[in-house]
A and B are shown apart, each in its own frame.
Chain A
Amino acid sequence: MSRRRNQPPRLARVLATIAVVFFCLPFVGLLWKTPWSRLLDVFTEASSRQALWLSMRTSLAAAVMSMIFGVPLAWVLATTKFHGRNVVRALCLISMVLPPVVGGISLLFSLGRTGLLGRWLDDWFGFQFTFSSWGVIVAQVFVAMPFLVLTVEGALRQADPRFTEAARSLGASPWYAFRRVTIPSIAGGLVSGTVLAWARAFGEFGATITFAGNYPGTTRTLSIATYVSLETDPGRSMALSVLMIGVSFIVLVALRDRWLGTEGPR
């Protein structure tokens, strides 16, 4: 009985079906056009493997960096009250809604070789992010970290603060209580936030090409390779798209059941 009452009305289900079709149709269209006979050739080409390997390395690094800085940021935003917190939060999340190219240009003006901070890096260390894989990671962190911050902050707000308070009252240091009590209680949110950030970094294109450039092996990620071959060899581009979809899909599905805790009605 109660199960029936919880079901959405038919109109909602119809609209939901349309949404599902809307999301699936482009993939069906792509798969329909993909030259399947070339798939294996494209996947085993040195240039594709190089791009996939670069994308894997940089997106994993970006996910780790997002975790290192994003979790403390979410922690602060979720638990401390300070003047202008909403402004700070908005500033930290704005890259989610920004066109990635704008993000890339802003990074050039700040961390580029003649940028606000970048000029010192160049003067002192002769180092520049642009045209290096570090630049790719920076661009990816810039667009991907907000996804983690948002998810983890939400999880922290929903977590019961009494457990952490109890741990603190028993003499645990703030870091210890956070590590051993708070983090386990938000594990689902932390994993899903990290996966979201990784997925966004893996697919990142606009900020990367604008800030880091496009060179095989150092900055040409799988998404850039896909875009670049769209004009010269659309078949190759489609095969690479299938590869990207495959990798992302496997990761999202595999982690969802294990961790994301959104398995629906039991």
Chain B
Amino acid sequence: MKGRALTVILASCGAFLTIACGDDDTSLRVMAASSLSGAFTDIEVAFERDNPGVDVVVITASSSALAGQIVEGAEVDVFASADETQFSRAAESVDFEPSRILARNSLVIIVPPGNPGRVESLVDLARDDVMVATATDDVPIRQYTDRMLDAADIEANFVTFEANVSGIVTKVSTGSADAGVVYSSDLVGADVEAIDVPAENNLVVRYPIAAIANARRTDIARRFVDFVTSESGLALLVLRGFTAP
């Protein structure tokens, strides 16, 4: 009996190890800001097609969360951040190659279908009958939003601080909140209406990307960054609402 129990335990340990250690040398860990998740899914497919045998694993979260994970020692081969502050934070603990700008983004006001709060411009975000969703103050979208609102001297009626951009989109698309400020690229596929912010109030968001330096996978990581910043990479980004750097 004891022998059989041991066999079962050893067998399950073996199975567990096989499952847990599927990661091999050719898999590339790409950490990307949540706003890039759609575009990077397309890029992953295209890159894997051009580079047989390479398995790209895209991990998306808010740039601040990703930078935090990198600081805590999470394995990363490529980091694409939605702002330069979070990129520098990560670069303090991990050696990256010089970063490049992969794309630009701008800010846009989103409202639920039908615009129940009748939001027309930035000033409406200060109305106390308009519930505005934003993110916690370490998430880049919140910092950009604050910068834009401060410049226009508007104090928005925030009712919730979401963990990331997709939280804002969810609260607005389900009509729980009347408005939110997100990246233009977040409009693709979202069930919301957009209200443009004029250029004089808007700001330009630059996305830095870099490959890890002096590592076993630097070569392939660099190839991935080259692809993202190439013509074909940019085309995929533009399809997802980004603009050329």
Q: Do A108 and B65 touch (CB < 8 A)?
A: no
CB neighbors of B among A105-160 (8 A): 105, 108-109, 112-115, 128, 130-131
How many A-B contacts are there with CB distance less than 8 Å? 69
Tell me, in angstroms, the Cα distance from A112 to B171 when the chains sit together: 9
CA distance A259 to B25 in the complex (A): 54
Interface size, chain B (Cβ < 8 Å): 27
Q: Which residues of A contact B112 (CB under 8 A)?
A: 114
Q: Are A109 and B174 within 8 A (Cβ)?
A: yes
Query: Which residues of chain B are within 8 angstroms of A128 by Cβ–Cβ distance?
Result: 176
Is A232 positioned at the interface, with any CB of B under 8 Å from its CB? yes
A226 at the interface (CB under 8 A from B): no
Q: A-facing mask of B1-29, CB < 8 A → 1, else 0?
A: 01001100100000000000000000000
Report A209-224 CB contacts with B as 1/0, cut-off 8 Å: 1100111000110000
Contact indicator A210/B160 (Cβ below 8 Å): no
Interface size on A, residues (CB 8 A): 26
Indicate with 1 or 0, residue by residue over A226-253, a CB within 8 angstroms of chain B CB atoms. Answer: 0110111010000000000000000000
A131→B159 contact, CB < 8 A: yes
Query: Shortest Cβ distance from A18 into chain B, in angstroms?
Result: 10
A11 in contact with B68 given A210-B170, A213-B133 (CB within 8 Å): no
- Looking at A105, A108, A128, A130, which has the most chain B CB atoms within 10 Å of its CB? A130
On whether the beta carbons of A112 and B176 are closer than 8 Å, the reply is: yes
- Asked whether A9 is an interface residue with its Cβ less than 8 Å from the other chain, the reply is yes
Please tell me which one of the listed residues B64, B159, B160, B170 contacts residue A108 in the complex, with CB atoms under 8 A apart. Answer: B170
Closest CB of chain A to B45's CB: distance in Å? 25
Partner of A214, one of B163, B175, B176, B177: B163
Residues of A within 8 A of B160 (CB): 131, 213-215, 219
Query: Closest chain B residue to A219 by CB distance?
Result: B160
Chain A residues with a Cβ under 8 A of chain B: 9, 11, 15, 105, 108-109, 112-115, 128, 130-131, 209-210, 213-215, 219-220, 227-228, 230-232, 234
**9 A-B pairs with C-beta separation under 8 A:** A114-B112, A114-B174, A115-B174, A209-B163, A214-B162, A215-B161, A230-B68, A231-B65, A234-B68
User: Which 3 A-B residue pairs are closest in the complex by CB-CB distance?
Assistant: A213-B160, A114-B175, A130-B176
A108-B170, A209-B163, A230-B68 given; 8 more Cβ-contact pairs under 8 Å: A9-B2, A11-B2, A108-B176, A114-B176, A213-B133, A213-B176, A215-B161, A231-B64
